[in-house]
Structure 1
Amino acid sequence: MRISRRNRSDDIELNFIPLIDVLLVVIIFLMVTTTFAKLSEIKINLPVAEESSAKKKAKPINIMITEDGRFVVNEKLMESILIDDMAEVLRGIAEGKEDTSVIISADANARHQSIINVMEAARKANLSKIAFTTKLISKL
């Protein structure tokens, strides 16, 4: 019995054509059966600015504190320096609008307690927007 040996000249050939055919069929099958997701849209209703809302903006309340501790509210001198009296005046000027701002202008020599009293009166009147103004003094 004779066993034939391979010659070195007989190389193994791989045939890629059937492999390519099978891969193409698989790709076509996947393309046909795949469902593509639709992009969902979110509808957003954006707010529209109205001119009337800008006109309804509350005027700020200007409070000046003098050197001797007296209060001037919207250019009217207050007789009382009590916190509760000032809170009533601020509440009346604000007319229930809590977005009204209070602008405090104090003299450089005014006592700190006077400024604290104005802030406390604004808190009691439910006014939370408080600002301070400064004055630049230039020396000649």
Structure 2
Amino acid sequence: MLSDRFRQDKDPEINMTPMLDVVFILLIFFIVSTNFVQQSSVEIKRPQASTATSVDGSPIVVTLDTTGRVYFESKEIDIYYLPGKLQQIASQTPKAKLLVVADTNCPTGVTIKVLDIAKQAGISFSSVASEIH
């Protein structure tokens, strides 16, 4: 009789609850630690260049549309506020790079003004984005 009590007729079971907890914690960790890249919401037709090269690192992006409106970090700003923003970034990041994404039909004067503002703000490396032809 005593021996019947210790004999198990059931198959052994594996408790899956701790494993599921670990999987969900890892999933939450990876979701929280992922960097989400935002693309610019401004429609730009870049000029073409046959000698274009790529730039390393993650530059500061200033976008110019066809009418010459200035977008900083995908938000439209007045060009008069741009020097302050660029000076702040240049003081925090000494080797900051500026990438001007200008539309093909953007007035050249606005593009030159943005490049000049960047130089005066202390950003020594500026470039204009183009499509490789």
TM normalised by structure 1 equals: 0.49
Answering whether residue 85 of structure 2 is matched by residue 89 of structure 1, we say yes
Kindly state the Cα deviation for residue 73 of structure 1 after the two structures are TM-superposed: 1.1
Whichever structure has more helix as a proportion of its residues is 2
Partner of 2:22: none
> Matched residues in 1 for 2:122 and 2:90: separation?
9
Encode CA deviations 1:5-63: one digit per residue, 9 max, x unaligned. xxxxxxxxxxxxxxxxxxxxxxxxxxxxxxxxxxxxxxxxxxxxxxxxxxxxx741001
d(CA) in 2 for partners of 1:126, 1:59: 17
- Highest CA radius of gyration, 1 or 2? 1
What is residue 107 of structure 1 aligned with on the other side?
103
User: Partner amino acid for 2:97?
Assistant: S
Of Structure 1 and Structure 2, which has the larger fraction of its residues in strand?
2
Secondary structure of 2:111's counterpart equals helix
In the alignment of these two chains, the number of paired residues is: 78
Alpha-carbon contact 2:89-2:96 (below 8 Å) kept: no
Q: Structure 1 vs Structure 2: percent identity of aligned residues?
A: 22
Q: Tell me the TM-score normalized by structure 2.
A: 0.52
Higher RCO structure, 1 or 2 (CA under 8 Å, sep 6+): 2
Structure 2, unaligned runs of 5 or more: 1-56
| Match of residue 124 from structure 1 | 120
Tell me by how many angstroms 1:123 deviates. 1.1
The equivalent residue for 1:69 is 68
